Chains A and B, each alone.
Chain A
Amino acid sequence: MSNPQMVMYEEEFNQIQVIVDRLVREANAQVVFIIDKNGQLIAAAGDTEQIDTTSLASLTAGNIAATGGIAKLLRENEFSTQFHEGERANIHIQLVGNRVILVVIFDNKTSLGLVRLRVKKASEELNHIFEALLRKVSDPNREAPFAEITDDDIDNLFND
């Protein structure tokens, strides 16, 4: 039971970044995030300065996990879309390929309809990229990424 890690390379990252940058513009959103289901932030675009992105990533993943748990209880496969409406900010959360989470934060300068439309298109494109990435990572000929790290390197990290 090998467990392919989530690995991000420059090539795929750039492809993803193009999509999230475009999504911010086309959906007229404030911020767009891509988060993996374990709560790691993969990419972000828009006005990210005001937001604690690490916390947001972890809480969103927790939210998706909890919703997935509810889905299971109801014998649903997954609730792939969530929408939370606030007074000033709204958040649209979309599960992409049951693998990563696409989060769009937006205000009243745009509409839920437009966001949904743009998210749908971006999700399809992202799904292709992550599928290709997964194939690359699962390649049995791929070297273990940290095989060159020595035990001393690890020890040194804790010698302070």
Chain B
Amino acid sequence: MSFINYLSREINCKIVYYGPGLCGKTTNLQYIYNKTNPEAKGKMISLATETERTLFFDFLPLALGEIRGFKTRFHLYTVPGQVFYDASRKLILKGVDGVVFVADSQIARMEANLESMENLRTNLAEQGYSLDKLPYVVQYNKRDMPSVAPVEELRALLNPTSVPDYEAIATSGEGVFETLKAIAKLVLTELKRGGAGAGPGPGGR
């Protein structure tokens, strides 16, 4: 649920990076953080375990510029990808304005991708959202790994509704900003239409 402040003339939106464990969600945020001007970003917060696995979420506030005098601010969140952190994932999805699904292109991770996508749908539905109505893009990450599935195959499996999708190598930054721009644009377009996906009102759960 976006937050529009007429007084400070700001639009604030929440984007969540979702996907299976070790698919590169945190790496996406780290790359964005490293490549953004200091004045356009806030501190990146990572609530992670000692082995640098996301425990609760990563958070990165980002300013993308002005539209008609309104500053656009995006709050980027990642969810913990590991299967057993499902309760935490549900919490992060509350009030989401747009979702990036980061898929791991490696053939061995195909089942994990499908499981995570199913989990995304289920968790969104629990909050009263439908993935088909939310601003949503897919990223096929790790294109540099040795045994990756062809994009056509990934697309057929993970993007049946043909939302915008991007190939990426998050460690080197390839495709990272393309993905971010695409989701930010979809979120703003949705805001312009006057909706913010479907979901419970403020105070709803």
Interface positions of A (Cβ within 8 A of B): 1-10, 13, 36-40, 42, 52, 54-55, 58-59, 62, 65-66, 68-69, 97-99, 134, 138, 144-149, 151, 153-155, 157-158, 160
Contacts and interface: CB of A to CB of B under 8 A. Distances in A.
Contacts of A42: 3, 5
A159 to B, nearest CB: 10
A52 B67 contact: no
Contact of A153 (B14, B67, B88, B203): B67
B147 interface: no
Given A65-B94, A146-B191, A6 B202 contact: yes
Interface stretch (B19-27, B112-120, B180-188): B180-188
B190 to A, nearest CB: 10
Given A39-B75, A69-B91, A157 B189 contact: no
A36 B1 CA distance: 10
Interface stretch (B100-108, B164-172, B192-200): B192-200
A151 B45 contact: no
Contacts of B185: 154-155, 157-158
B56 A62 contact: yes
A125 B199 CA distance: 27
Given A9-B6, A134-B202, A3 B1 contact: yes
Contacts of A62: 47, 56-57, 59, 91-92
Interface in B21-79: 42-43, 45, 47, 56-57, 59, 61, 64-68, 70, 72, 75
Contact of B6 (A7, A148, A149): A7
Contacts of B5: 7-8, 13, 42
Given A62-B56, A144-B194, A154-B67, A99 B91 contact: no
Nearest to A98: B203
Contact of B68 (A37, A134, A149): A149
A148 B68 contact: yes
Interface of B: 1-7, 11-12, 14, 42-43, 45, 47, 56-57, 59, 61, 64-68, 70, 72, 75, 87-88, 90-92, 94-95, 128, 181, 184-185, 188-189, 191-203, 205
Contacts of A148: 68
Contact of B42 (A4, A40, A52, A144): A52
Given A3-B197, A10-B6, A55-B45, A149 B188 contact: yes
Shortest beta-carbon contacts, A-B, top 5: A144-B194, A38-B95, A65-B91, A99-B203, A1-B198
B109 to A, nearest CB: 27
A55 B4 contact: no
A94 to B, nearest CB: 15
A157 B67 contact: yes
B7 A5 contact: no
